[in-house]
């Protein structure tokens, strides 16, 4: 008998109960155990260990259950609110970008006209055009940071978010 | 028989898929039902890991919070129990690392609060005394072995997990799981065999 056979026997003993072994493997194991004291002792030890581990039970108390469920529910509400706000910010950013893009041409033309009409230096007009171009996004960003989420309750945005959540659910 | 096995498998797949959908939606009803269904198994596993009931209860709550937060990652293709135990394992590891920078192997002198409750064996006083003695002996034996072995024994014998599932859960090679199982069994052996004398 060599080390490889012991290794195989131990592997089969370990797998027998849950993964299962083939009939041929079971026969081989039986014949090996009949001859090998070391492996049959391991088989016995495995049975005892299983019995020992399974003989214990730990019960969760009702209060643990209740407090866990309450904590999980509270956290779920918190996450939902956070997600709503993130959605609101994303929508606002998108709206800001759309407005900025659509108005870019108009601001550029207006800037050109002002340079011509009032003979303004382009060093002032250039940054001015960029500022007005970004204005919608800046205004939306400031509003979102300035007002808490509750301020948006009942707003079109809030209704949009609720619809989205209903859609997800 | 094959048809029954397929039917059971299909039912399990449906159940796991339903759990996955519920977790993605953060459905409170689904979460409540899961907490109720897995309460004892999860707590038992955490007690095995930490050997301290109070810590295990904290980690129990933390595990469910993490299930809520990471619920969208569960795809419903694997067993929910395995995924849950993986989360619990990671929560426990994080906790132990935060508490003190030692490995699980060194968590052997944890508070000896009674983490286990014996199964009620029978009403006779003799049986009760005998059961208490057995419980003390087995508990002592389990406490003597390192948590990394105890964890594998618990997952294998109590959760009836496959060796591959355990390897995936603990994130260790299959060969290491086999070694830990072997060593765990052999470490318990002297105490358990000696008890009958």
Q: Shortest CA distance to B34 belongs to which of A65, A51, A57, A9?
A: A65
Rounded to two decimals, the ipTM of the complex is 0.72
Average pLDDT in the B36-60 region? 92
Confidence (pLDDT) at B65: 96
Predicted structure pTM score = 0.70
Instruction: Please give the span between the terminal C-alpha atoms of chain A, in angstroms, as a whole number.
Output: 63
How close does chain A come to B170, measured CA to CA in Å?
18
DSSP at B106 = G
Burial (Cβ within 10 Å: 0-12, 13-18, ≥19) of residue A23: exposed
Which residues in A lie closer than 8 A to residue B47 (C-beta atoms)?
58
- Token pair 């983490």: residue: B115
> What digits encode the pLDDT tens for the residues B148-161?
999 999 999 989 99
Q: How far apart are CA B184 and CA A39, in angstroms?
A: 15
Provide the angle, in degrees to the nearest 10, between the axes of the packed helices B163-170 and B174-194.
110
**Residue B152: CB partners within 8 Å, gap ≥ 6?**
B166, B170, B177, B180, B181, B184
A 10 A CB-CB count for A79 gives: 15
Q: Shortest CA distance to B104 belongs to which of B152, B50, B156?
A: B50
**A117 against B164, higher pLDDT:** B164
Which residues in A lie closer than 8 A to residue B27 (C-beta atoms)?
169
C-alpha pair distances (Å), B37 with each of B32, B40, B104, B194: 9, 8, 28, 37
B172-179, long-range: CB within 8 Å, 24+ apart, which pairs?
Answer: B177/B152, B178/A10, B178/A11, B178/A14
Confidence (pLDDT) at B5: 59
C-alpha pair distances (Å), B77 with each of B18, B65, B161: 11, 21, 16
State whether B185 and A57 contact (CB < 8 Å): no
Q: How does the average pLDDT of chain A come out, rounded?
A: 81
Which residues in B lie closer than 8 A to residue A53 (C-beta atoms)?
142, 153-154, 157-158
State whether A49 and B192 contact (CB < 8 Å): yes
> What would the two tokens of residue B52 be?
């301290």
**Residue A60: CB partners within 8 Å, gap ≥ 6?**
B39, B40, B42, B43, B60
Q: Which of B21, B23, B26 to mutate to test the interface with A (most CBs of A within 10 A)?
A: B26
> What digits encode the pLDDT tens for the residues A27-71?
999 999 999 999 999 999 999 889 888 887 788 999 999 999 999
- Token pair 């469920």: residue: A69
Nearest CA in chain A to B121: A55
> What would the two tokens of residue B158 be?
């109590």
How close does chain A come to B101, measured CA to CA in Å?
28
């Amino acid at each position: 008998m060599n080390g490889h056979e012991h290794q195989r026997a131990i592997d089969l003993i370990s797998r027998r109960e849950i993964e299962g072994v083939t009939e041929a493997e079971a026969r081989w194991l039986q014949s090996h155990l009949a001859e090998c004291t070391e492996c049959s002792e391991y088989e016995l030890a495995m049975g005892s260990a299983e019995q020992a581990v399974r003989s214990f039970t730990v019960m969760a108390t009702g209060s643990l259950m209740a407090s866990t469920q309450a904590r999980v529910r509270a956290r779920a509400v918190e996450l939902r609110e956070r997600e709503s706000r993130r959605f609101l910010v994303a929508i606002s950013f998108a709206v800001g970008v759309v407005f900025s893009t659509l108005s870019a041409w108009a601001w550029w033309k207006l800037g050109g006209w002002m340079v011509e009409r009032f003979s303004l230096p382009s060093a002032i007009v250039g940054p001015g055009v960029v500022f007005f171009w970004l204005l919608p996004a800046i205004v939306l960003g400031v509003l979102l940071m300035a007002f808490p989420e509750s301020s948006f309750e009942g707003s079109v945005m809030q209704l949009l978010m609720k619809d989205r959540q209903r859609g997800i659910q | 028989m094959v048809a029954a096995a397929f039917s059971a498998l299909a039912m399990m797949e449906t159940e796991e898929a339903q759990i996955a959908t519920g977790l993605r939606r953060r459905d409170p009803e689904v979460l409540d039902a899961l907490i109720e269904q897995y309460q004892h198994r999860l707590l038992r596993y955490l007690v095995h890991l930490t050997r301290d009931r109070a810590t295990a209860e904290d980690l129990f709550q933390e595990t469910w919070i993490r299930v809520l937060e990471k619920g969208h990652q569960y795809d419903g293709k694997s067993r929910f129990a395995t995924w849950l135990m993986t989360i619990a394992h990671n929560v426990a590891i994080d906790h132990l690392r935060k508490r003190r920078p030692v490995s699980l192997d060194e968590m052997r002198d944890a508070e000896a609060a009674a983490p286990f409750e014996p199964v009620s064996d029978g009403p006779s006083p003799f049986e009760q005394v005998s059961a208490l003695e057995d419980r003390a002996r087995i508990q002592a034996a389990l406490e003597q072995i390192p948590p990394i072995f105890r964890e594998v024994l618990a997952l294998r014998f109590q959760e009836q997990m496959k060796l591959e599932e355990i390897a995936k859960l603990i994130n260790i090679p299959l060969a290491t799981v086999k070694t830990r199982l072997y060593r765990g069994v052999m470490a318990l052996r002297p105490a358990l065999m000696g008890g009958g004398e």
